[in-house]
Amino acid sequence: MTMRLLAESDNASARPHANSAGQLVFESNRGGNQDIWMISIANPRAARQLTTAAGPDRYPSFHPNGSDFFFLSNRSGEGAAFFRGRVGRPTAQLLVQVDEPSFGSWTPGFASPDSTRFLYAAGGSVWTINLFTGSRMQLFEGAGPSWHPDGDKILFRKKARDFGRYVSTSIWLATEDGINITEVLPGNENITLSWARVSPDGTRVCYTKREILNGSRGSFGDSDIWVANIDGNQQIPVTSAPGRDDQCGWLDDQHLVFVSDRPTGSSGAGSLNLWIADLQ
């Protein structure tokens, strides 16, 4: 496996998501405010700012059409909400107001592969909203959901066990109806797993594995990117550098994009930059 720096900035870049045209949306405060930006893998130096509203815009993802994108923002004035924007348009459409989650941080929402539904987490549960009718459906307990490419299964994280103040989470796979729910990658008192994404061919999952140093005090160690088969077998580390490697996404079946605070030629450790991992 090889790594290469894709794009760096004095300001943090986070939560990248790719479309089939080789473009990435991500969040950054490089413009002085937390906004959504876009780059091309072929020309990562030419970054384009997609949102400019006051307040933070975060957690972006592309619509399958490659032009629309979703993000989380408090611009509605009524708390956090998901919005739908379009590249080149200055305005965005309110999609759904969301509740505070009972555990964990906010995570991106994703359009289904067939573009009919939007998947997100709120209030400690996984939800979908019909993109045509606006009707919502609460599916099951969990956070950080993402679609399997076949569109009828969902990867998500859920509590593994409580350890004092900290909650360790495992990676689970479920059918959308919630009838079949399987723990595919278990967390424990030493590690917590998060940010799981399925490869385009549906055979593998990338995820973040983070060391728990002291669960009762919420003390953590380094985090790294791992890859496993969709059933949890053949778990392989992708990164092993000291510090934070996190928030993986698939560019194609053999390449990952992720964020890292490892030092680069022009920035020291601590600045989050975008990296690519070649799994071949």
Q: Using CA atoms, how far apart are residues 8 and 22, in angstroms rounded to an integer?
A: 18
Q: How many other β-carbons are positioned within 10 Å of the β-carbon of residue 222?
A: 15
Reported pTM: 0.93
Task: Check residue 252 and give its pLDDT.
Answer: 96
13-47: pLDDT as tens digits: 899 999 999 999 999 988 788 899 999 999 988 89
Task: Check residue 141 and give its pLDDT.
Answer: 92
Q: What percent of the chain has pLDDT over 90?
A: 69
Cβ burial 37-53 (10 Å sphere, 16+ → b, else e)? bbbebeeeeebeebbee
Task: Check residue 154 and give its pLDDT.
Answer: 98
266 band by pLDDT with thresholds 50, 70 and 90:
low
Task: Check residue 105 and give its pLDDT.
Answer: 59
Q: What is the mean pLDDT of residues 174-183?
A: 94
Cα separations in angstroms, 234 against 168, 202, 231? 21, 15, 9
114 band by pLDDT with thresholds 50, 70 and 90:
very high
Four-way CATH pick for 148-280: 3.40.50.300, 3.30.460.80, 3.50.50.60, 2.130.10.10: 2.130.10.10
Q: Is the model more confident about 261 or about 270?
A: 261
Q: Worst-scoring range by mean pLDDT, 134-138, 249-253, 264-268, 271-275?
A: 264-268
Give Cβ neighbours of residue 73 (< 8 Å, ≥ 6 apart). Answer: 51, 53, 55, 56, 57, 58, 80, 81, 83, 92
- Scanning the structure block, which residue is given the tokens 């893998």? 41
Tokens of 87: 């590249």
What secondary structure does DSSP assign to 67-128, as a single string? SEEEEEE-TTSSS-EEEEEETT-S--EEEEE-PPPSSS-----EE-TTSSEEEEEETTEEEE
SS3 assignment, position 216: helix
Q: Using CA atoms, how far apart are residues 191 and 258, in angstroms rounded to an integer?
A: 19
Q: What is the mean pLDDT of residues 78-88?
A: 90
Q: Worst-scoring range by mean pLDDT, 91-100, 117-126, 129-138, 152-161?
A: 91-100
190-223: pLDDT as tens digits: 999 999 999 999 999 999 999 998 877 778 889 9
Task: Check residue 103 and give its pLDDT.
Answer: 47
Size (the chain), residues? 280
**Among candidate residues 224, 256, 261, the one with its CA nearest the CA of residue 239:** 224
Tokens of 49: 């700012």
Q: Using CA atoms, how far apart are residues 27 and 100, in angstroms rounded to an integer?
A: 21
Q: State CA 204 to chain mean position distance.
A: 16
